[in-house]
Chains A and B, each alone.
Chain A
Amino acid sequence: MSLLHSARATPLRSCIAGVRHYAVKKPDQTSDPIRETLRRVLYPANVKNRASPVGTWRPDVARALQRAIPSVQAHDTIERAWLLHRRYLRKQREAELARKFERMREAMDELYKLDQTLYMEANRSDDPRAKSQQEMEMMKKMKMSEVRTLEARVPGLFPRELRIPTETPPRDGWNYEYKPFQRPL
C-alpha cells in the first residue's frame, strides 16, 4: 500500500519516448547545449525509428550496400579469392620455416657426430640474469655509463636496437658512423 502511494507521489516523466528514467531531463534544469548533447550521446533513445548519430545504422544503409557490393556471387568470389591468397602466403611461410628448421637439425646432427662438448655447449640456453666471468672483469675497468651500455644488451634476449619496419625510412637513413663498443663474446 505504501509502495503504491510512493509511486503515485513521484512526478510523471516528461515525454521523451524511449529514454531511461535516469536520463530524463528534470523540469527545473537549465537547457545547456553541451549537457543536451552529452545526454543524447550517452543515453541514446531505445526506439530507433529515425536517423541518429549514435546507436543506429545510417538511414540509407540498403542503398549504400547496393553501391558497395556488386552482387552476392561477386562478394563470395572475392571472399574466396582473399582466403586463397592468405592460404598461399601462409603455405609459403610455413614451407620456408620448415626448410630452415631442416637445415638447423642437420647442422646439429653433424655437430653431434663431430664434437660432443661443442654440441652440449650449443644446446645450453643462456641465463639472462647471469654475468659471465669475462663480463665481470670488463665491468671493473669501465665507467658507469659504459657499464650501463654493457648491461643494456642482455645475453639470450633480442637487442633493443633491432628496428621494427616502418612505412617510410628514417630521415637520416642508415647509421654508417657507428663507434664500436667492446662487448664480451
Chain B
Amino acid sequence: MLSRHVLKQVGSCPRAARRAFATEVSSSPASSENVAQSVRPKKSEKPRISTAVILNRSPILTKAPTPFETAFYSYQARIRRALSNPFPHDFYFKQGSLLQTRFNLEERQREKRAFGPSFLPTEDVDPEKAAADKAAVEQLAQQEGEGEELTSRTHKADLTNDVKSLDRKGQRNLYLLLLAEENGKDVWRFPQGGLEKGDLLHQAAQKDLFAECGEQMDTWIVGRNPIGVYKPKPASNEPQDHVFFFKGHIMAGQVHVDGQRVKDFAWLTKEEIGEKVDKDYWEVVSDILSDC
C-alpha cells in the first residue's frame, strides 16, 4: 500500500501469521479457530497512522489593490497634498539648477493631476525660456537612460496555464497536489506516507515528502504539530486510517515524481484543488488551505 511501509509489513506479517498458526498443528481444529479469531479482531482495532504534507509556495507578489482601494488612496493623497506645506525646493536643490527646474515642472504636473488643470494660476514665464527648460529636461532624461525594465507581474506560465510551474499566480498561495494510484483508482491527493517505528510525526512527514516528490527541493516543515486529520471511511474489517497533515514551505527546487505510483503533480490554488479532489477529503482540507 505505502511504499516505505510495504517492506516492513511483508517482513512482519509472515512471522505473525506463522505464530498464529503454530498452535493449529499441536491442538485440535476447534481451539485453533478460537486462537485465529482472537488474533484477527485485535489487528483490525489497531489504527493506522500516516502523515501527509501540504507543501505551500507562498505568494511571490504583493496583492494588487482593488479599484476601490486605488480610488481611496488617490483621494487621501489629494487631501494630504492640499493640507501639507509646499516643498522647500530652494533648500533641497541648488538655485537655478536643471534638477530644480525638472522638479518644479514635475510638481506642477502633479498639482494639475490632483486638483485639475484650471486650479493653478498661469505661469508668467517667458515662453522661450519655458521651451528651453523643457528641452533641457528632456535631454537630461535621455542622458540618464531608460532605467531598468521591471519584470512583469504576469508570468508566461499564467498565460499558458502551466500547472507544474512555480511562477504561476504570483499573488496566490500554491499547494502541491499529486496524482497517485490507490486501490486501482487514480486520485488527486497531497503527498502521503506511513509512519516508521521510532519516528516522530513531523520527521515521518519530511521523509514521506522526499520519498514521493524527490529530494530536489528546499523544503521546511512548520513545527511539530499536525494541522489537520483525515479519517477516510474504512472498508469493513479494515482498521481506521488516520492521516495527519503537516504544513510545509518550498523555497527552491521542483518536484520530480517517479511515475510509477505517483503519476503526476500540480501546483494549484485552493479553488483548483477543490475541483480535483474527493469530496470527503475536501471537507477536511478546505479549512486548512488559505483563501488568498
A contact residues vs B (CB 8 Å cutoff)? 33, 37, 41, 51, 53-58, 61, 63-65, 67-69, 78, 81-82, 85, 92, 96, 99-100, 102-104, 106-108, 110-111, 114-115, 118, 121-126, 153, 156, 158-159, 161-163, 165-171, 173-176, 178, 180-181, 185
Contact = CB atoms under 8 A, between A and B. Distances in A.
B150 A168 contact: yes
A100 B150 CA distance: 37
A56 B288 CA distance: 54
Contacts of B37: none
A55 B155 CA distance: 48
B201 A121 contact: yes
A122 B49 CA distance: 14
B32 to A, nearest CB: 32
A180 B79 contact: no
Contacts of B274: none
Nearest to B69: A85
11 contacts: A33-B95, A41-B88, A58-B82, A67-B114, A118-B200, A121-B201, A122-B226, A163-B58, A166-B61, A168-B150, A169-B170
Interface stretch (B5-13, B19-27, B184-192, B216-224): B216-224
A185 B226 CA distance: 16
Contact of B153 (A53, A63, A156, A169): A169
Contact of B61 (A125, A161, A168): A168
B227 A174 contact: no
A121 B170 CA distance: 36
Given A53-B90, A67-B116, A114-B242, A173 B155 contact: yes
B115 A64 contact: yes
A32 B62 CA distance: 49
Nearest to A172: B151
B225 interface: yes
Contact of B203 (A104, A106, A185): A185
Contacts of B69: 85
B266 to A, nearest CB: 15
B85 A56 contact: yes
A53 B58 contact: no
Given A58-B85, A92-B291, A102-B287, A165 B62 contact: yes
A78 B227 CA distance: 40
A173 B156 CA distance: 11
B61 A107 contact: no
Nearest to A104: B227
B83 interface: yes
B88 to A, nearest CB: 3
A174 B61 contact: no
Quick one: which of A67, A82, A107, A121 has the most chain B CB within 10 A?
A: A107
B200 A178 contact: no
A170 B83 CA distance: 38
A162 B114 contact: no
Contacts of B227: 100, 103-104, 107
Given A122-B201, A159-B220, A169-B60, A104 B86 contact: no
A41 B116 CA distance: 30
A81 to B, nearest CB: 8
Contact of A103 (B49, B249, B288): B288
Interface stretch (B97-105, B124-132, B175-183, B250-258): B250-258
A69 B82 CA distance: 10
B133 interface: no
A107 B244 contact: yes
Given A106-B228, A107-B244, A114-B49, 9 more contacts: A37-B91, A54-B88, A57-B83, A63-B119, A64-B119, A65-B79, A108-B225, A169-B153, A185-B206
